[in-house]
Structure 1
Amino acid sequence: MHILVSAATASDLAETAEQSIDYLQKVIDYVISKAHIFVSAMIILIIGWYLTRFACKIVRHSLDKTRLDASVTSFINSLTKFGLRTLLAIIVINKLGVDTTSLIALLTSASLAIGLAVQGSLANFAGGVLLLIMKPFVVGDYINDGNGHEGTVISIEIIYTRLLTANNEMVCIPNGKLADSPVTNLTNQESRRIDFPVSISYDENIDRVRTVLLNVASECQTLSKTHESLVFVQDFDSSSVRVVLRVWAITDKYWETRFEIREAIKKAFDAEGIEIPYDHMDVNLINHEK
């Protein structure tokens, strides 16, 4: 009985080995018959890869000679590279004998499904394209997005725009929000206005205060030469007169000018004996024992 079982097992193993050899032989025969197709596809892939790199390099050099913004050229380079490599992949797949018509239809359906799933990202992509074309701001501008974010534009990417705040913090804002909301570009012009409100006593001579403030402005070297400084009475408070010094600072020196003039006003008022009123509190101590 044991001898019969062993003989049956050996027969099964031999039959399995023979089937495996036949299958392997068919695979080898198929590979040999299609070898020229695989070789052609590999040659097309290698040559096409280098051609796409060469074409992208030509496009990049051509864009560098134009006056387009760096973010725009980077965006166009990315699209060119993606488009050429996608075309190369379709050509190679077609060479291998795969029906590209069905493949393209499948990719179209998949793209539609993915697009519906990532509508927010597509909106940000479209917003990025609008920002690059319309240019409400460029890399290096100092902007305020109206939602509490303010800083220097570091990069305008496909989905996000990156800001570097005054606290050296990186803020990533979706392009869709920037494209759909008011954005204040604080460095678009060569100069920026700064108002310095100062409170003086009702007993103080306004003309004297005006002279002191204008002298402070004239000594500042970071003010714009195209605008004149101005001093005017803004309001009458309960215990003081509010006077404003209005100057125009060079945009690149905005913060430096703001700090410098604010300090200079205090020093000039101290030197001229001009008092800045402030709230006083009188404390009376009552001695009940007395």
Structure 2
Amino acid sequence: MEIFDLEVLRRNLTEWAPTVVGAILTLIIGFWLIGWITGLVKKALKRSQIDQTIRPFLSSLVSVGLKVLLLITVAGMFGIETTSIIAMFGALAFAVGLALQGSLGHFASGVLILVFKPYKVGDLVKIGGGETGSVEEIQVFHTILKTLDNKKIIIPNGVVTDNVITNISGQGIIGVELTFGIGYGDDIDKARDIILRVGKECPTILDEPAQAVVVAELADSSVNLATRPFCDSSDYWATYFYMQENVKKAFDAEGVSIPFPQVDVHMDQ
């Protein structure tokens, strides 16, 4: 009985050895080829005009697809029906899809973002119900923002597409909205000239479109002057902070007041 079992074992090893060796070699060579092809795809995408936001998504998609085909091919070498494997993958995908409906929604939203490009990596945006920052990365399920104070905000893509998207810097140049309040007893024309002078001295403000200063509101405690100097998108915060600081200094130097909230009370005798 033991001799018979050894003979059967030898016969099975002899029969399956070439298939096993062939499958192992196929896996080794296949994974090497997939890595080589994926590298070529990455280089081709880098040389093309395709947005850098989409390149990692496409290259990873190619890699995963080729690996699935390789595993199906190796399974076929052992006599396994590939149609059964494909059907099994389909059923598994359906079950996972039911369990991960929310994640699939974020995936679909990520695809929409990549296709319609409401923003790209590097843009300064306000998304996800009010979060503001520079787009650091657009992943399959999430968009990652980097805030001015170096915080990392991860927003699900479904939340992004369900809210208003404000691309602050996507146009190349941007107007910096600024409001300066002066007292009712101060000279409007003098304050306007000061704001325009500080704007001309700011190294990041563009000559065109030209800066203007208008009376935006006669508020309870102040006359509010509004201005919107334009700068390159990357200089938004530098321009904002420069104007805030230097207009205040110029107002102080030339006797223009910035009033505190106040209420005039009249008493009848």
Answer whether TM exceeds 0.5 for this pair: yes
Structure 1's 212 and 104: CA in aligned 2 closer, same or farther, altered over 3 A?
Answer: closer
**Would you say the 8 A contact 1:233–1:242 is kept in 2?**
yes
1:47 deviates by 2.6
**Would you say the 8 A contact 2:202–2:243 is kept in 1?**
yes
Partner Cα separation in structure 2 for residue 277 and residue 73 of structure 1: 53
1:59-138 correspondence to structure 2 within 5 Å: 59-138=41-120
1:25 deviates by 4.2
Q: In the alignment, what sits opposite 2:121?
A: 139
The answer on 1:47 being equivalent to 2:47 is no
Q: In the alignment, what sits opposite 1:230?
A: 212
1:273-284 correspondence to structure 2 within 5 Å: 273-279=255-261
1:227-266 correspondence to structure 2 within 5 Å: 227-266=209-248
Structure 1's 268 and 114: CA in aligned 2 closer, same or farther, altered over 3 A?
Answer: same
Q: In the alignment, what sits opposite 1:203?
A: 185
Partner Cα separation in structure 2 for residue 217 and residue 112 of structure 1: 60
SS of residue in 1 equivalent to 2:149 = coil
Q: In the alignment, what sits opposite 2:267?
A: none
Structure 1's 41 and 241: CA in aligned 2 closer, same or farther, altered over 3 A?
Answer: closer
1:246 deviates by 3.1
Which ranges of structure 2 fall in alignment gaps of 5 or more residues? Answer: 265-269
Q: In the alignment, what sits opposite 1:153?
A: 135
1:86 deviates by 1.0
Partner Cα separation in structure 1 for residue 127 and residue 207 of structure 2: 30
SS of residue in 2 equivalent to 1:71 = coil
Partner Cα separation in structure 2 for residue 178 and residue 146 of structure 1: 5
**Would you say the 8 A contact 2:221–2:262 is kept in 1?**
no
Partner Cα separation in structure 1 for residue 33 and residue 251 of structure 2: 72
SS of residue in 2 equivalent to 1:278 = coil
Structure 1's 59 and 202: CA in aligned 2 closer, same or farther, altered over 3 A?
Answer: closer
SS of residue in 1 equivalent to 2:177 = strand
Q: Alpha carbon RMSD of aligned pairs, Å?
A: 2.2
Is 248-257 or 235-244 further displaced after alignment? 235-244
Larger radius of gyration: 1
**Would you say the 8 A contact 1:213–1:231 is kept in 2?**
yes
Structure 1's 133 and 196: CA in aligned 2 closer, same or farther, altered over 3 A?
Answer: closer
**Would you say the 8 A contact 1:195–1:246 is kept in 2?**
yes
Q: In the alignment, what sits opposite 1:187?
A: 169
Percent identical: 36
Which ranges of structure 1 fall in alignment gaps of 5 or more residues? Answer: 1-17, 283-290
The residue type paired with residue 43 of structure 1 is: L
Structure 1's 115 and 264: CA in aligned 2 closer, same or farther, altered over 3 A?
Answer: same
The answer on 1:38 being equivalent to 2:20 is yes
